[in-house]
Amino acid sequence: MTTPPPVPPDTDAAAFMTALRDLKVWSGLSYRQLERRAARAGHVLPHSTVATMLGRDRLPREELVALFVAACGMRADEAQVWLDARVSIAYGRPAEAAPTTKRGGRSWRPHQVLAGAAVALTTVLLAGVAGVGVLTDEVEVVQPPTSLLVPRS
């Protein structure tokens, strides 16, 4: 009989990270094996990123949690439990109550909206800077007059 996978707590980030470490141990996979498993599924999950993530007590990004738990062998419904616990910790309330915004028929969480706005603002700023020529190579080089001749006395 195999042991069941660890259950993610939704209490705090440190407990969640301890459970993620336990999940890696439960999977029996090395960091490189997790990387290869993710690659076979068409995803990028560098072993160094996983090692760094598990070495901290901070909450990782949702995408990283999703890739990691899938690489550890969690089914979609089991992975969703981990994501819901992460959202609950991040927002301090159950995942169902996490704020969302409807745009284009899709629900967006606040951090997704902010990330999109940041990308849009950066694009506009770079376009404006390029438009006024700040980032171009059109620089006028002025050389001061110099003389190699020394006047004779």
Degrees (nearest 5) of the Cα angle 90, 92, 96? 90
Poorest-pLDDT segment among 40-54, 55-69, 82-96: 82-96
Q: Three-class SS of residue 27? A: helix
Give the residue with greater pLDDT, 118 vs 80: 80
Amino acid, single-letter form, for residue 103: R
Nearest CA among 131, 89, 134, 138 for reference residue 81: 89
Strand partners of residue 107: 102
Distance from the Cα of residue 94 to its chain's centroid? 22
Amino acid, single-letter form, for residue 116: G
Is the separation of the CB atoms in 109 and 90 below 8 Å?
Answer: no
Integer Cα distance of 11 and 15 in angstroms: 7
Question: In the numeric block, which tokens belong to residue 50?
Answer: 């996983």
Question: In the numeric block, which tokens belong to residue 49?
Answer: 């990123």
Nearest CA among 43, 45, 6, 12 for reference residue 26: 6
User: 18 phi and psi, to 5 degrees?
Assistant: -60, -40
> For the whole prediction, is pTM greater than 0.85?
no
pLDDT tens-digit map of 106-150: 555 555 555 565 565 566 566 554 555 555 555 566 666 665 665
